[in-house]
């Protein structure tokens, strides 16, 4: 069956597939632990010490401590998991989406109010690929 | 004999739940979205189904990456509300329907759908936001619910075609349950949205409109949309729309669209709602 990762041609997108699942497990399981109020408290009190409980790579650890949202995705973070760190910080999905796309919060919010990011010009990393609309 | 009488497709954006829980539905930002939910609530209150089957995905709440069930059915009599990282939503406990749920579990497995069976699990916004959207804020939910979870968090989710066939099997199973029950089925998630990466915020109204139209015109054609096409056209999280096919597969071939609502944005998402009635149900 199709396992050629053809979705890797989509720009600005990190599909949580087998490749990322293999490297991201510990990072995402740390995020999962934040579903418990006690753990959220411990993480907030001493982030570095709390992270010692999990076997993160140095790069994963750095990304978490620096709240590098895009960086987390690049080292195996899954957005449904890493968002729990944002909730811990009192941020919303939209706050984090703005930061990942590299624009100020207000600019991102305005883009959404105006109908969102257009798929046109955003379907392929390679601009030579044909833009095939649907429907 | 039990019978599926109608289907509801609805997005399950967490911010919609937050807006309801914090009394913000009348603000200029939210009012246009919630206004469109009114007719759906009236329709559902009038239909007064005996049971709802809600097809949704768990978002790292009941299940982590430790164990990832592709298809799962909840057979408990009660499902507590999950803490997803900011405390549980202040909504009523969800009551199950163990007799029908166990019947479905057995029938589906013998019909070659290898369901995981959950005797205990909390339910997250994927299930509770569709209930809130369609039922409002009652002290108790008006009907018992059978949760059916589909993995869309770890790639790959099941294909649209497989989801549609699961819906057909759910229908066969419901129709062999001896008690007379009128069942409504929800397919949740979508529509176009992307929550991650530099491309976050993607919305594709054209894709969504064609998808909504296809639900009545040619649902089988929609089941052929590939995962990559969902992600490219409707955003990486737009792939949740495979769950709508479970609902659609459980309905008659010919259905009537009785209501549609589409609004952008609900946070990062194009929020869709569609009600389909079996022609034979009238």
Q: In angstroms, rounded to a whole number, what is the distance separating the alpha carbons of residues A113 and A118?
A: 12
Q: Greater confidence, A131 or A33?
A: A33
pLDDT averaged over every residue in chain A: 94
Going by C-alpha positions, the residue among B209, B128, B52, B101 that lies closest to residue A133 is: B209
Taking an 8 Å cut-off on Cβ atoms, the answer to whether A92 and B267 are in contact is yes
- Set of chain A residues whose Cβ sits within 8 Å of the Cβ of B200: 12, 97-98, 100-101, 108, 117
- Tell me: pLDDT of A8 over 90: yes
* Reduced DSSP (H G I as helix, E B as strand, rest coil) percent helix, strand, coil of chain A, to 5: 55, 0, 45
In our burial notation (b when 16+ CB lie closer than 10 A, e otherwise), range A67-97 reads ebbbbbbbbbbbbbbbbbbbbbeebbbbbbb
Residue B207 to residue B7: CA distance in whole angstroms: 21
**Residue A28 and residue B264: Cβ atoms within 8 Å?**
no
Going B135 to B141 to B142 to B143, the CA torsion angle's sign is positive
- Secondary structure (3-state) at B118: strand
State percent of chain A over pLDDT 70. 93
- Asked whether B71 and B116 are in contact (CB, 8 A), the reply is yes
Pairing of strands B182-188, B145-150: unpaired
- Which domains, and CATH codes, for chain B? 15-181+189-272 (3.40.830.10)
Q: Do the Cβ atoms of A15 and A79 come closer than 8 Å?
A: no
Q: Searching chain B, which residue's CA lies closest to the CA of residue A124?
A: B232
Active site residues of B: 125, 193
Q: Give chain B's length.
A: 282
Count A/B contacts: CB-CB distance under 8 Å. Answer: 164
Does the distance separating the beta carbons of A116 and B202 come in below 8 Å?
yes
pLDDT of B281 reads 52
Sorted by sequence, the CB contacts under 8 Å of residue A55 that are 6+ apart come out as A26
Query: Where does the pLDDT of residue A128 fall: very low under 50, low under 70, confident under 90, or very high at 90 and above?
Result: confident
Q: Which DSSP category does B157 fall into?
A: P
Q: Please report, in tens digits, the pLDDT of each residue of chain B (282 residues total).
A: 999 999 999 999 999 999 999 999 999 999 999 999 999 999 999 999 999 999 999 999 999 999 999 999 999 999 999 999 989 999 999 999 999 999 999 999 999 999 999 999 999 999 999 999 999 999 999 999 999 999 999 999 999 999 999 999 999 999 999 999 999 999 999 999 999 999 999 999 999 999 999 999 999 999 999 999 999 999 999 999 999 999 999 999 999 999 999 999 999 999 999 999 998 754
Q: Is the dihedral of CA A87, B59, B189, B75 positive or negative?
A: negative
Q: Mind giving me the DSSP string for A68-128?
A: -HHHHHHTT--HHHHHHHHHHTT--HHHHHHHHTTS-HHHHHHHHHTT-B-STT-S-SSTT
Whether A134 and B206 have beta carbons less than 8 Å apart is answered as yes
Compare CB distances from A115 to B65, B205, B268 and report the shortest one's residue.
B205
Of all residues in chain A, the percent with pLDDT exceeding 90 is: 90
Dihedrals phi, psi of B227, to nearest 5 degrees:
-60, -45
Q: Kindly list the distances between the CA atom of residue A64 and the CA atoms of A74, A79, B49, B134, B261, in Å, as whole numbers in the listed order.
A: 12, 13, 46, 38, 39
Which of the 8 DSSP states describes residue B57? -
The C-alpha torsion from A98 through A101 and A104 to A105, rounded to 10°, is -10
Please name the member of A7, A97, A108 whose beta carbon is closest to the beta carbon of B228: A7
Q: Of chain B residues 6-45, which have a CB less than 8 A from chain A? A: 14-15
Dist. CA B245–CA B163, nearest whole Å: 6
CA–CA distance, B160 with B168 (Å, rounded to integer): 13
Query: Tokens for A21?
Result: 């699942």
User: CB neighbours (10 Å) of residue A104?
Assistant: 10
**Minimal Cβ distance to A134: which of B66, B207, B268:** B207
pLDDT(A1) > 70: no
* pLDDT of A135 strictly over 60: no
Chain B residues within 8 A of A108 when measuring between CB atoms: 200-201
- Residue A105 above 70 pLDDT? yes
Beta-carbon separation of B205 and A88 below 8 A: no
Cβ-defined contact of A101 to B268 (cutoff 8 Å): no
Give the per-residue pLDDT at A2. Answer: 54
CA B58/CA B159 separation, integer angstroms: 17
- Reported pTM: 0.96
- pLDDT score, position A127: 75
What is the pLDDT, as a whole number, of residue A134? 46
Given a contact cutoff of 8 angstroms between Cβ atoms, the answer to whether B68 and B150 are in contact is no
- Give the pairing of strands B145-150 and B51-56: parallel
- Mutation test of the interface with chain A: which of B201, B210, B270, choosing the one with the most A Cβ atoms within 10 A? B201
Residue B264 sits at the chain A interface (C-beta within 8 Å): yes
Inter-residue contact B104 to B73 (CB < 8 Å): yes
Query: Among residues B143, B160, B111, B113, which one has the least CA distance to residue B47?
Result: B143
Secondary structure percentages of chain B, helix, strand, coil, to 5 = 35, 25, 40
Strand B116-118 versus strand B78-79 pairing type: unpaired
């Amino acid at each position: 069956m199709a396992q050629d990762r053809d979705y890797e041609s989509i720009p600005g997108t990190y599909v949580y597939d087998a490749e990322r699942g293999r490297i991201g497990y510990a990072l995402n399981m740390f995020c999962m632990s934040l579903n418990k109020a006690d753990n959220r408290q411990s993480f907030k009190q001493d982030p570095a010490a709390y992270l010692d409980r999990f076997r993160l790579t140095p790069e994963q650890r750095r990304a978490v401590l620096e709240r590098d949202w895009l960086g987390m995705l690049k080292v195996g973070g899954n957005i449904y998991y890493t968002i729990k760190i944002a909730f811990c910080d009192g941020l919303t999905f939209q706050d984090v989406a703005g930061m990942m796309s590299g624009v100020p919060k207000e600019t991102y919010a305005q883009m959404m109010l105006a109908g969102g990011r257009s798929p046109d010009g955003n379907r392929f990393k390679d601009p030579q690929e044909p833009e095939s609309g649907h429907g | 004999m039990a019978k599926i009488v109608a289907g509801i497709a609805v997005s399950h954006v967490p911010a919609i739940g937050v807006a309801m829980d914090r009394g913000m539905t009348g603000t200029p930002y939210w009012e246009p979205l919630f206004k469109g939910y009114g007719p759906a609530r009236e329709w559902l209150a009038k239909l007064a189904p005996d049971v709802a089957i809600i097809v949704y995905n768990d978002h790292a709440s009941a299940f982590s990456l430790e164990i990832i069930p592709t298809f799962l059915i909840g057979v408990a009599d009660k499902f507590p509300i999950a803490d997803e990282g900011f405390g549980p939503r202040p909504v009523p406990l969800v009551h199950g329907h163990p007799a029908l749920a166990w019947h479905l579990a057995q029938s589906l497995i013998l019909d070659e759908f290898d369901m995981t069976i959950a005797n205990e699990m909390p339910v997250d916004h994927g299930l509770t936001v569709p209930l809130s959207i369609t039922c409002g804020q009652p002290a108790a939910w008006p009907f018992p619910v059978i949760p059916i979870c589909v993995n869309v968090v770890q790639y790959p989710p099941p294909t649209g075609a497989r989801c549609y066939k699961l819906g057909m099997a759910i229908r066969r199973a419901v129709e062999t349950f001896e008690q007379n029950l009128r069942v409504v089925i929800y397919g949740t998630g979508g529509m176009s949205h992307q929550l991650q990466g530099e491309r976050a915020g993607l919305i594709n109204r054209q894709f969504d409109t064609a998808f909504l139209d296809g639900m009545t015109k040619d649902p089988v054609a929609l089941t052929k949309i590939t995962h990559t096409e969902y992600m490219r056209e409707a955003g990486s999280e737009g792939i949740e729309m495979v769950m709508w096919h479970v609902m659609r597969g459980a309905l008659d071939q010919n259905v009537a669209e009785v209501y549609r609502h589409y609004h952008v944005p609900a946070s990062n998402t194009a929020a869709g709602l569609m009600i389909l009635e079996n022609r034979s149900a009238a």
